Structure 1
Amino acid sequence: MTTTDLSPAPRPLALADGRPAAAAWSLQLAVTHLNHAAWGAVPLVAQTQQNRLRRQMEASPGQWFPALPGRVTAARRSVADFLQISAEDLALVSDAGAGASVVYANVPPRPGGDVVVTDHAYGAVTLGAERLARRWGGKLRRAHVPLDADADTAYACVVAELGEATGLLVVDHITSATARSMPVGRIAREARGLGIPILVDGAHAPGLIEDPLAGLDCDFWVGDLHTFGCAPRGTAALVARTDLREELFPLIDSRGTPAPFPDRFDSQGTGDATGYLAAPAALGFVEETWGWKAARTYMRELADYGEEIIGMALSELTGDDCRVDVGMPVNAMRLVRIPSPLAGSLAEAEVLRERVAQELGVAAAFTSFDGVGYLRLSTHVYNTPADVETFAERCVPALWAWAREQSQE
């Protein structure tokens, strides 16, 4: 690939007053931010709203907490509108992992039952699934889905692990480590036919998928609002639309426990719920400034450009094709293969992430799958082509040098 083969760089988004989109965030300018999918980034308008709410809480706790459940209910309704679902199907939780933990703690027990996950599943969610299988006296079964598997192949790989002993299936909507989608609608229909409860981990779906639960007949779905939705951290959705939702209770009992689902989740003692209350400000900011459809289009175009320019830079140095064939790619997340032996394991990928941040001033995610290391690029509206060009110019030569040094050790 030559520079003439590259897709054109998308025009950076701007605010209504002409300032760059990044001016609406408080991100450190000295750092190149290319890892939005990990922790998100909260726009100033939502930070301001949350700080205002915190001042109200601290000014009069005696008034704040008795009125809090009603305010959480109102925020929940706004989030439900964003996800295009009924508010009666939605509970707010601190993150997708917390929602999965609620499911693991409350799903009807299946003595001797197995729990099925994929080898792309998020680590913390898999740990919870493993503990659940151990409590049941069953096994954790991992369905291997090749990185380049198309929808038909991914479906076949997952359902091949289902059987009479399966007590719960856990599958990603969008995989965190490998930046690919799964055919969750089709898999869920198969599980439903077999009478197997299914939990869909949609951590990255809110904001990336316009109507993430459309046509998805699953028992439980969890999604983070703090990643691509840009809500304050500690804000996520737990959706339950079958009779099993009546089994779901918060992990900590409070005065709201006797209430029906999802109202029982609106009252959580003296926890700081200001993130829930400020979430609509973040979701509304993107919609009012650019529109979510335009935002998703920009994120996809920038991810395409970044994948190409970084992949080309790595390929030119290594002599290998560093492009990655991901079977069901995601619009704002991409994988680029990095030189071996870098990130041969997830632990090594984490060490590499820290080194790139400390030595090169770039916040980026690295991952490992089947012993191969990858850059996991993720973009948002505040990113620009210059950000991915910086990675290509500054980080790619360093990665190549570090790989050669490591090979000689």
Structure 2
Amino acid sequence: MNTPDPAPAPRPLLLPDGRPAVAAWTLDPAVKHLNHGSFGAVPLVAQQEQNRRRRQMEASPVEWFPALPEKIAAARGALARFLRVRPDDLALVPNASAGASVVYGGLPTRPGGEVLVTDHGYGAVTMGAERLARRWGGTLRTARVPLDADADTAYACVVDAIGEATGLVVIDHITSATARWMPVGRIAAEARRRGVPVLVDGAHVPGLAADPLAGVDCDVWVGNLHKFGCAPRGTAALVARTPLRDHLHPLIDSWGAPAPFPDRFDTQGTIDATGYLAAPTALDFVADTWGWEQARAYMRELADYAERIVAAAFSELTGEDCRVDVGTPVDALRLVRLPAPLAATRAEADALRDRVGRELGVAAAFTSFGGVGYLRLSTHVYNTAADFEYFAERCVPVLGAWSRTDSRGGRR
């Protein structure tokens, strides 16, 4: 049986005037930007819209702030259409971690209750879950899910850890450190059957899924619009569709406190909400220029190519298979195993990220799971195959040398 040839590198996306897609962003051309998934990147048109709104705010603050809740409500409507949810089910929060904190602060007290997380959870959200468990006088329980677990195995690992004391399940939709989907719909359905609230951390999902909450009947879902949606940073959605929403309040009490959910989130005093107001511009830019379906297809094809060539480069260097089976991979996020002992801990992964940026001029993500270090590849419409070819040809040999000379990946 002949093995089919691997798919070729996808052709770069172009703007309508023929320029490369990256021309629509203000990214530093001296840096290879291979880590969209961490902080996103805002297209120029959305920056300009946010700046226009800021000028309005600063020109007449006394006029701006009383009228702001109505403006935020209109933005919520546009963002709800993008996420395919009802506007009355969606509140705007600064980021997914802030949304999780809203839930932790709003849940009715459960003395001695247990909060269930997984070992793939985002660190800041897990820290908040631990604080909640301490306030309850209970414990934080961690469900262990193998990196290569398929959906059925991941489901079993989580639901088997739900017990009589479980007062909340916190589960990632897409895991940050390990770049895999979790079967949140099935987990939420089983938790609901047992009467246990579920918080889904969908930080990376908006922009990567056409209908993010389809089949996900959880109590609260939070997702960042400033990652793959390219909205200005500090823009995230909190979607609540069960009676728990009546207990949810903004992190800052303001004059909207007596209002029902989600209206009370629209009044937050003197915060700069221009990111919320400019977010629809970012989403519309991708939709009008390429269409989100084509954008997602390109990100997936480019991630396939990037994973293949970077893993092959590391494998050739080390003599080991550096491909990673994450069970249920994500279209635009992939893992490649690093040569040991690079990035064996989160602190070492962060130090390696900083060193690669400083010495190699590449913005990349490095993560750690189970004492093993990984490169997390991340693609968006402005990336091209040449970006990842550069990394494979120029950066992989340097990382190999660092792994042999510096056990911590820090400065030699």
Match of 1:266 in 2: 266
Aligned pairs for 1:24-39 (under 5 A) are: 24-39=24-39
Match of 2:369 in 1: 369
Q: How far 1:407 moved relative to its partner?
A: 5.1
Q: Is the 8 Å Cα contact of residues 6 and 309 (structure 1) preserved in structure 2?
A: no
Match of 2:90 in 1: 90
Match of 1:300 in 2: 300
Match of 1:157 in 2: 157
Match of 1:173 in 2: 173
Unaligned runs of 5+ in 1: none
1:222 aligned onto 2:222: yes
1:253 aligned onto 2:246: no
Q: Deviations over 1:15-36 (max 9, x none)?
A: 0000000000000000000100
Match of 2:187 in 1: 187
The alignment partner of 2:375 has SS state of strand
Q: Deviations over 1:367-409 (max 9, x none)?
A: 0110111000000000000000111011100110000113599
Match of 2:144 in 1: 144
Q: Deviations over 1:135-175 (max 9, x none)?
A: 00110001010000000000000011101000000000000
Aligned pairs for 1:40-189 (under 5 A) are: 40-189=40-189
The alignment partner of 2:406 has SS state of helix
Quick one: distance in 2 between partners of 1:83 and 1:170?
21
- Alpha-carbon RMSD across the aligned residues, in angstroms, is 1.1
TM-score (norm. length: structure 1): 0.98
Match of 1:288 in 2: 288
Change (3 A) 1:317 1:5: farther
Q: How far 1:5 moved relative to its partner?
A: 4.7
Quick one: distance in 2 between partners of 1:395 and 1:130?
38
Quick one: distance in 2 between partners of 1:92 and 1:192?
25
Q: How far 1:91 moved relative to its partner?
A: 0.1
Q: Is the 8 Å Cα contact of residues 342 and 407 (structure 2) preserved in structure 1?
A: no
Q: Is the 8 Å Cα contact of residues 172 and 200 (structure 1) preserved in structure 2?
A: yes
Aligned pairs for 1:372-387 (under 5 A) are: 372-387=372-387
Question: Given residue 64 of structure 1, which amino acid in structure 2 is its aligned partner?
Answer: W
- Give the number of equivalent residue pairs: 406
Match of 2:240 in 1: 240
Quick one: distance in 1 between partners of 2:406 and 2:33?
26
Quick one: distance in 1 between partners of 2:393 and 2:269?
50
Q: Deviations over 1:284-304 (max 9, x none)?
A: 000000000000000000000
Quick one: distance in 2 between partners of 1:39 and 1:337?
22
The alignment partner of 2:246 has SS state of helix
TM-score (norm. length: structure 2): 0.98
Question: Given residue 136 of structure 1, which amino acid in structure 2 is its aligned partner?
Answer: W
Quick one: distance in 2 between partners of 1:92 and 1:351?
33
Aligned pairs for 1:306-321 (under 5 A) are: 306-321=306-321
Q: Is the 8 Å Cα contact of residues 365 and 377 (structure 1) preserved in structure 2?
A: yes
Q: Is the 8 Å Cα contact of residues 340 and 403 (structure 1) preserved in structure 2?
A: yes
The alignment partner of 1:26 has SS state of coil
Match of 2:346 in 1: 346
Q: Is the 8 Å Cα contact of residues 334 and 377 (structure 1) preserved in structure 2?
A: yes
Q: Deviations over 1:330-382 (max 9, x none)?
A: 00000000100001111100000000000000000000110111000000000
1:275 aligned onto 2:275: yes
Question: Given residue 189 of structure 2, which amino acid in structure 1 is its aligned partner?
Answer: R
Q: How far 1:6 moved relative to its partner?
A: 3.7
Q: Is the 8 Å Cα contact of residues 173 and 202 (structure 1) preserved in structure 2?
A: yes
Quick one: distance in 1 between partners of 2:276 and 2:407?
48
Q: How far 1:215 moved relative to its partner?
A: 1.1
Quick one: distance in 2 between partners of 1:183 and 1:302?
25
Q: How far 1:7 moved relative to its partner?
A: 2.3
Question: Given residue 222 of structure 2, which amino acid in structure 1 is its aligned partner?
Answer: V
